[in-house]
Amino acid sequence: MKLIKVEAHGFKSFAEPITLHFNGGVAGIVGPNGSGKSNINDAIKWVLGERSAKELRGDNMDDVIFAGSKTAKPMDKAVVTLTFDNKDGQSSINHETITISRVLERGSGINQYYLNGEVCRQKDIKEIAMESGIGKSSLAIISQGTVSDIAEASAEERKGIFEEAAGVSKYKFRKKEALSKLAKTQEGLDQIALVIAEIERKLNPLRKQAEKAKIFIAKTEELRSVEVGLLVDNIKRFGSRYDELSVELEGVQETKNDLNDRIKNLEAKISQNIEFKTNLEAAQKEISIELEAVKDRLNNLSIAIARENERERLIVEGELKVDTTEQINAYKTLIEKSAQRVAYYNREYDLINKRISDNSEILDAHDKELNFINIRLTKKENDIFKIQTHLNLLKQQKEGNTLLYKGTKTILENKAIFGKGLKGTVADLIKVNKEYSRAIEAVLANALQHLVVDKPEVAVKAVEFLKQNNGGRATFIPLASIHPKSVRDDHLLAIQGQPGFIAVASELVEVEPIYLILSQFLLGNVIVTETIHHANHISKILDNRYMIVTLDGDIIRAGGVIVGGAKSNTETLLTIDLKISELESLIPGIQIAITDDRSKHNEISNERRICLELESQLKNQLANIITQKSAEQKILDELNLKLKNISNKELEIKTESISIHSSEADLEVLSSRKSALEADFRAKNERINALAQEINSGQVLKSDFESTLRKLLESFSEKLSEKEKSKVFLEQSRERLASQYKLTLESAEAQGYKLEMSYDQATEIVREIREEINKLGNVNLEALEQLVEEEERYNKFVKSEEELTQAKQVLESAIAQMDKIIITRLTNIVHDVNAEFNDVFATMFGGGSARLFFSDPKNILESGVEIEAMPPGKSIKNLKLFSGGEKSLIAISLLFGILKARPLPLCILDEVEAALDESNVVRYAEYLQKLKNKTQFLVITHRHGTMSRVDALFGATMQNRGVTTFFSLELAEAKKLVDDVQEDYISARAAKAQN
């Protein structure tokens, strides 16, 4: 494989594109020091994969890119291309011409290789170089330093030259890779063995656990088939009983309230009757006292009448004389007494009339006040009824979740499944004053029903539950995933002084500390203002960046869209609790007012009854007074008439008779008064007895009512307890159905679960299965999957172990084969080169002998290669004792021996003869001519003896400072150039000698 062309641009001093064409033989590359001739060597090494900047005489790889000069700008890219003639087929690449390129760009990180114009790996380039013998570490590229290294190297280091010559580099490289793979394979086998041992330790107990898990799953499925039906029956049965008891308790509550009202009314009635009876007894006592006085007066008057009758009889019989004057005075006395009694009756009449009139006014006032209280009570009772009805409706809505969407309702009804991870709805977690409720409600809208969870996994679980049970859709807010939102500080500062600005919405709600991020996420970037006009003004200031809401619920969205208008007054999730609290707070005040009004009503009713009874008494008294006054007036008129006609004894007798009649009239009046008082006394006594009986009956009835109420309360308590138990059993059944079986009542019924036997039988079966499950103890339900996984892992690792064992065997076999090839090739190369080396040595030194041998022939792989050289007239065996020129000549002799034994397609020699004297340079150059038929040489030199003996000459020059250019010369021109270079060289040596 022959190098036919080198192209470079941007590499080191090649600022201008250069192209060198080669035709084989020995090509010389010459030029003054610093002209860049050796950059051709660096370019070839670089394109063949050199990675070390130091090997390329730089600090870092970017140093190979042209850095610029006074006459040329720096370049950003270096490109080198080698073109080979592969007609001899030395390369495995099936092309007659092979082009290898490398491109490096400064700053971009591009460092790319190309093979025949296609992108390839550095490894591909290295393989081509190694199989053709032009690799960067072979004898194909030799510098002056390399020559010294060959002479002074240890036997082990020197062996590398022969490995390159023997073409075993690729085998060593492959062996190194194989050894690395073998080590990794062994490491993998060791690790797999540990894993297999660990898995084997797990498998036996895992198989037992898996067997227990199978039994557990079978029993659990058997339990499920019975218990789910039992739970469905429980839910329906306890739910039905709960509803029945709720209805019954409502009726009991009504009856209880009715009995309490009746007992209160009876107590009021009994209290009134007792008070009325007490009043009657007091009045009866007064009548009794007056009756005794009347009886005394009647007795005295009867005695007086008896005396007057006796006196009248005596007068009539003449036994008693009558004095007319005395009679007249007696009449006057009787008239005066009678007139006094008439005046008394008139005063009593007026007084009683006045009392009747006053009492009527009081009755009218009582009637008006009672009517007003009745109207007020009716209104307040209607208010209570309306409030209680509204309150019951709101509570039913809240307890029944009727305001919630289906999905949200389904999750809340089965919250036990999700545990503490489910926090509740947004509406449950935030509190807001009534003043701001419409604003917050307008902003959150449907988000009030969003469900808050602690992390996304709970939300995923809930979504899966909704899908499995056809439970609708819901929105979830994971606290772990959300981030707070806010209004920028400078924007907030700009609007804080604006009219109508209230606050950021998140500041107007109350939340527990753990939910602060929720309020900031939902409301942190929402601004609240008083009116839509204020909102519009502030929105313009902020360039419509934020949502703004008013206290009425009008909204200006970010971007400027305005939403607003009138809204219905129906309650929402956010306001329903506020409304319930508000209504409940109204009831006690109204009930107190009703109680006060009823107490006032009873008090006024009692007073009115007393007034009515007093009116009846006063009218009776007035009738008696009228009767008594009429009788007394009649007596007075008769007395006045008789007084005028007294003139005789007959008149006297008559007068006496009139006196008697007057006394008898008094007696009649008093008797009438006595009868009236006795009748009044009897009436009051009868009324008192009636009241006592009514009080007793009321107390008996009250006792009956209280007994009935106690029984009712006992029944209420029993039913309430039964209702609560039904509720507990209902909730327990629902929770168990949800938590244990991930089902709702609806989904369980849809899947056909129902109780197929009696309740007792099902309960007994469930108990027995549970006992069997409990006897299993702790069960690892993941054991079945773990067993499958572990067995799969075990089989996988066993298979991997088998594969790695096979791979190990293949690698060991390959390594052994490569060792055999390396030993064979090394033995052959040393043998062949040894034969050539002695001849070349004798030629180069003009006599003497030299030989090569393994330092450890029994271990070729580890053995070094020793050199024994004996120039004419010397017996030095240690190479280090030779002079520098001798060492170089020995190394060159060895190089030529190798090239004779194993010719290379290309060899680049960079001033390798620099340490030789002129005669030896000539020998060196002439020997190159002997080898050029089998090896192409590129010789970089400044020695006259070499330049004069090359086949082609390329001159390096810097017409522009820092920029290398090349030109080819005819041999005549080359001769002149060689002479010039020789003179420069001699001058330089002379100057160096003088120094």
Is 34 part of any known ligand binding site? yes
pLDDT at 578 > cutoff 80: no
Helix residue spans in 401-485 (DSSP H)? 406-413, 426-429, 434-444, 456-468
User: What pLDDT score was predicted for residue 547?
Assistant: 95
CA distance 899 to 893: 10
> What mean pLDDT comes out for the span 391-404?
66
User: If pLDDT is split at 50, 70 and 90, which confidence band does 207 have?
Assistant: confident
> What mean pLDDT comes out for the span 592-600?
84
Higher pLDDT, 134 or 824: 824
User: If pLDDT is split at 50, 70 and 90, which confidence band does 286 have?
Assistant: confident
CA distance 728 to 242: 10
CA distance 352 to 346: 10
CA distance 135 to 132: 8
Q: Which of 347, 322, 288, 342 is nearest to 665 (CA)?
A: 342
Triad 440, 446, 448: Cα angle to 5°:
55
Which residue matches tokens 């039992």?
A: 230
pLDDT digits 0-9 by tens, 413-455: 888 888 889 999 998 899 988 889 889 988 988 888 899 999 9
> What mean pLDDT comes out for the span 916-940?
92
> What mean pLDDT comes out for the span 84-112?
87
> What mean pLDDT comes out for the span 169-185?
84
Q: Which of 617, 667, 662, 623 is nearest to 639 (CA)?
A: 662
User: If pLDDT is split at 50, 70 and 90, which confidence band does 647 have?
Assistant: very low
CA distance 704 to 781: 65
Q: Give 820-853 as a DSSP string.
A: HHHHHHHHHHHHHHHHHHHHHHHHHHTS-EEEEE
pLDDT digits 0-9 by tens, 19-61: 999 988 999 999 888 888 889 989 998 998 888 888 888 888 8
User: If pLDDT is split at 50, 70 and 90, which confidence band does 11 have?
Assistant: very high
Strands 509-510 and 431-432: antiparallel
> What mean pLDDT comes out for the span 351-378?
86
User: What pLDDT score was predicted for residue 103?
Assistant: 95
Higher pLDDT, 893 or 873: 893
pLDDT at 589 > cutoff 80: yes
CA distance 995 to 992: 5
pTM for the model stands at: 0.42
Fold of the domain spanning 1-140+907-995: Rossmann fold (3.40.50)
Q: Which of 150, 278, 42 is nearest to 898 (CA)?
A: 150
Higher pLDDT, 318 or 113: 113
Q: Is the dihedral of CA 441, 443, 448, 452 positive or negative?
A: negative
Strands 422-425 and 26-30: unpaired
pLDDT at 323 > cutoff 80: no
Q: Which residues contact 231 (CB under 8 A, 6 or more apart)?
A: 733, 736, 737, 741, 748
Q: Give the domain ranges of the chain.
A: 1-140+907-995, 178-221+787-812, 404-570
Triad 580, 586, 589: Cα angle to 5°:
150
User: What pLDDT score was predicted for residue 482?
Assistant: 93
pLDDT digits 0-9 by tens, 446-471: 888 899 999 999 999 999 999 888 88
Q: Which residues contact 654 (CB under 8 A, 6 or more apart)?
A: 642
User: What pLDDT score was predicted for residue 984?
Assistant: 62
Which residue matches tokens 């084997």?
A: 200
Triad 206, 210, 216: Cα angle to 5°:
145
Return the bridge partners of 644, or none.
none
Mean pLDDT in the chain? 83
User: If pLDDT is split at 50, 70 and 90, which confidence band does 970 have?
Assistant: low
Higher pLDDT, 299 or 42: 42
pLDDT at 319 > cutoff 70: no
Is 589 part of any known ligand binding site? no
Task: Give the whole-number percent of the chain exceeding pLDDT 90.
Answer: 22
Is 38 part of any known ligand binding site? yes
CA distance 271 to 754: 62
Q: Is the dihedral of CA 576, 578, 581, 583 positive or negative?
A: negative
Fold of the domain spanning 404-570: Taq DNA Polymerase; Chain T, domain 4 (1.20.1060)
Is 39 part of any known ligand binding site? yes
Return the bridge partners of 82, or none.
6, 100
Is 648 part of any known ligand binding site? no
Q: Which residues contact 349 (CB under 8 A, 6 or more apart)?
A: 622, 625, 626, 629
User: If pLDDT is split at 50, 70 and 90, which confidence band does 269 have?
Assistant: confident
Q: Which residues contact 774 (CB under 8 A, 6 or more apart)?
A: none
> What mean pLDDT comes out for the span 505-525?
93
pLDDT at 136 > cutoff 80: no
User: If pLDDT is split at 50, 70 and 90, which confidence band does 573 have?
Assistant: low
pLDDT digits 0-9 by tens, 534-560: 999 999 999 999 999 999 889 999 988
The segment with the largest mean pLDDT, out of 3-17, 313-327, 365-379, is 3-17
Q: Which of 205, 328, 82 is nearest to 790 (CA)?
A: 205
Q: Is 353 helix (H, G, I), strand (E, B) or coil?
A: helix
Is 689 part of any known ligand binding site? no
Residue 217, number of CB atoms within 10 A of its CB: 13
> What mean pLDDT comes out for the span 797-807?
89
Both tokens of 974, joined, read 């080359």
Is 32 part of any known ligand binding site? yes
CA distance 367 to 300: 48
